[in-house]
Structure 1
Amino acid sequence: MTNIGFLACKTTLPDTDHAPGGQDAERRGDAFEHDLMIAALEPAFAMHNLQLKVVDWEAPIEAFVGIDLVMLGTAWDYQDKPKAFLAKLEELEARGIIVCNPSSLVRWNATKTYLRELSEAGANTIPTLWREVVTKKGALEALDAFDTDRVVVKRQIGAGALGQELVARGSLPGDDWEFGHPAMLQPFLPAIASEGELSFIFIDGELSHALRKRPAKGDYRIQSLYGGQENVHSPSQDEVEAATAIIAALPFDTPLYARIDMLRMEDGQLAVMEAEMIEPYLYPEQGSELGERLAQAIVKRVSHL
């Protein structure tokens, strides 16, 4: 039996999975997605002689004894402790544990300036201004630069729309407003509400499944925490090629898993919003073969052990 670790965090772990004597935390509103992932992976892994073990990424290193490969899973608070998270991954690798995706890729993917590198490599990306500090003046500059009436301000290190703000020309923040984090500013694209965001799930470089994510009425965030809805999407050949081009542009070996989130620009072309390769939710409900695909890919990675 090969032991596979699935990293979680205090707010995605069910209470029964916390270490004895550990302090339980209130589960996130989207922690059900953790449960769906485990339910999809466990039976498929078992068919391939893989034993799945859920571990809090902040657990002592002793909790990883006997584990051969670690998936980053639902470590959804890593952005709050990025240095500690990277240090843990590097420690696991130093002990001979395969980490998927590896710490070198995580370091690159954790700061969204990677999108600038993808653009330089020829990927179609959303126009972006990169700022260490964003004030009302900076938001106005972005509105003018993009010739738009709304801009989205995102953290350069962040996930799940955490701390994200929509700034509109008609309802600007106060003069003393400051975003509070190194930021990226992008024009708001109406396609998020009409067509929705398209997500393409890749396992070992091959497309597994695709889905369309739409926000709740009156919102623009597509995450389930904010009422977003997901549906299976049957992508066109052009859409598959657009998403595959992002995988091809990565400056790393093929990752075990990747979620490429794309949005249609006003010229009709898909542009990458995010290339999620740290701890993305992989939407098993929309991809019935996800568990089997991951199991097969993992078997290849541990076959030399």
Structure 2
Amino acid sequence: MTEIAVLTPAPSDPSYAGQWPGVLERLSEALATSGLTAVPTPWTDHVGDAAGLMRFPLVLPLIAWGYHRDHDRWMQACETWAAAGLRMLNPPSVLAWNSDKSYLGLLAEQGVAIPDTVWIDSPTQDHADAAFDRFGTDRIVVKPRVSGGAYRTLRLARGEAMQGAPEGPAMIQPYLPTIESEGETSLLFFGGKLSHVVNKRPVPGEFRVQVQYGGGYAALAEPPAGALALAEQTLAAIGEDLLYARIDMAPDAHGGWLLMEAELIEPDFYLSSAPEGGKRFAKAVRARL
């Protein structure tokens, strides 16, 4: 068996303590089908020195959750790993730029459809109030640019006070009611090839689809009409040699697809909903070795 490293959260971070071990178990079982042994190690142990990772033929940052709450150290770590020539996939340069959602604006400049977005250095109530009129809507979403798992993401109605707003750079978008009725759809790519598709829906009254908020996941036999075209357009615009990518999207009110996120750092592959995807990922990893 070939040992490869899998980056995990810091042991002192309780946020994912009950979740990431299960993700690691599913990932480890999948990798084992291709003769690979996953060796977990906290990403926070390798911020200033990559020596502890150099013995591995490959490092996967797949469970490096929590970087959004320690972003300065994350960026330092990416520099450390890149300078050391660490064999990491996806590569450290991608891990750095993909950690700030301002990349969505760059993709939009290349023609990728995203929700209408206002980029704010530090959101205030005035910014939120102005966004309602700009978008012509009665509900908006305020998100930090550096985030994960809907961290400090707010849904506001017109006239509602903005409490618990993100600190620092943020983005404001019109709320998509289709999230409640049709959910968010994720297309998983391994080695540049589509592996599987998962639809995620919030519980009634909620808008966040993550499992920690009660979201339900279901594998789809094939991508909905038009979804694959947007995913492929997104990957082409990114233009990176990626081992894995999760492209999250949602439909607008007219049935067109909008890119919500291109998750290239530590995406959940949803192997509990699509276990066959694990073997496809393992084969893509083995091919890189």
TM-score w.r.t. length of structure 1: 0.86
Cα distance in 2 for partners of 1:137, 1:91 equals 40
Mapping of 1:279-298 within 5 angstroms? 279-298=266-285
Instruction: Measure the CA separation in 2 of the matches of 1:125 and 1:65.
Output: 38
Q: Tell me the residue number matched to 1:264.
A: 251
2:41 is matched with which residue? 55
Contact 1:89 1:99 in 2 (8 A): no
| Percent identity for Structure 1 against Structure 2 | 35
Structure 2's unaligned 5+ residue stretches are none
- Contact conserved, 2:95 with 2:265, CA < 8 A, in 1? yes
Deviation, 1:58, is 1.4
* Structure 1 CA distance for aligned equivalents of residues 147 and 31 of structure 2: 30
Partner of 2:240: 252
1:69 pairs with 2:58: yes
Cα distance, 1:42 vs structure 2: 2.3
Q: Report the 3-state secondary structure (helix = DSSP H, G, I; strand = E; otherwise coil) of the residue aligned with 2:275.
A: coil
Residue 103 of structure 2, aligned match among 100, 108, 114: 114
State the AA in 2 paired with 1:26: P
Matched position secondary structure for 2:233: helix
Tell me, yes or no, if the aligned pair for 1:3 and 1:67 is still in contact at 8 Å: yes
Q: Is structure 2 residue 260 aligned with structure 1 residue 273?
A: yes
C-alpha distance in structure 1 between counterparts of 2:124 and 2:286, whole Å: 49
Q: Which runs of 4+ in 1 moved over 6 A?
A: none
| Structure 1: runs of 5 or more not aligned | 12-23
Task: Between 86-95 and 262-271, report the one with greater CA deviation.
Answer: 86-95
- Note closer, same or farther for the CA distance 1:40–1:193 as it changes in structure 2 (3 Å cut): same
The TM-score with structure 2 as length reference comes to 0.91
2:37 is paired with a residue of what secondary structure? strand
1:262–1:272 CA contact under 8 A, matched in 2 = yes
Of residues 1, 7, 21, the one that matches 1:35 is 21
The 1:284/1:178 distance shift into structure 2, 3 A limit, reads: closer
CA contact (8 A) 2:81 2:92 kept: no
Q: Alpha carbons of 1:8 and 1:157: their partners in 2 closer, same or farther (altered >3 Å)?
A: same
| AA partner of residue 240 (structure 1) | L
Map of 1:239 onto structure 2: 227
Query: 2:97 and 2:167 mapped to 1: Cα distance?
Result: 22
Q: What SS does the corresponding residue of 2:248 show, helix, strand or coil?
A: strand
Equivalent residue in structure 2 for 1:182, among 169, 181, 184 = 169
Match of 1:268, as an amino acid?
Answer: G
Larger Cα Rg: Structure 1 or Structure 2? 1
Q: CA deviation at 1:243?
A: 1.8
Does the Cα contact within 8 Å between 1:152 and 1:164 map onto a contact in 2? yes
Tell me which residue corresponds to 1:14.
Answer: none
1:225 matched to 2:212? The reply is yes
Distance 1:43 1:26 in 2: 24
Paired residues of 2:90 and 2:265 also in contact (CA < 8 A)? yes
- 8 Å Cα contact 2:58/2:89 also seen in 1: yes
Deviation sequence 1:6-43 (CA, Å, 0-9, x none): 100135xxxxxxxxxxxx553537x43x2333233323
The letter of the residue matching 2:5 is G
Question: Would you say the 8 A contact 2:186–2:247 is kept in 1?
Answer: yes
Q: Matched residues in 2 for 1:38 and 1:137: separation?
A: 43
Inter-partner Cα distance in structure 1 for 2:98 and 2:74 = 13
- SS of residue matched to 2:209: coil
Instruction: Name the Cα RMSD after superposition.
Output: 2.0
Q: How far did residue 108 of structure 1 move?
A: 1.6
* Matched letter for residue 240 of structure 2: F
8 Å CA contact retained: 1:198, 1:213: yes
Contact 2:231 2:247 in 1 (8 A): yes
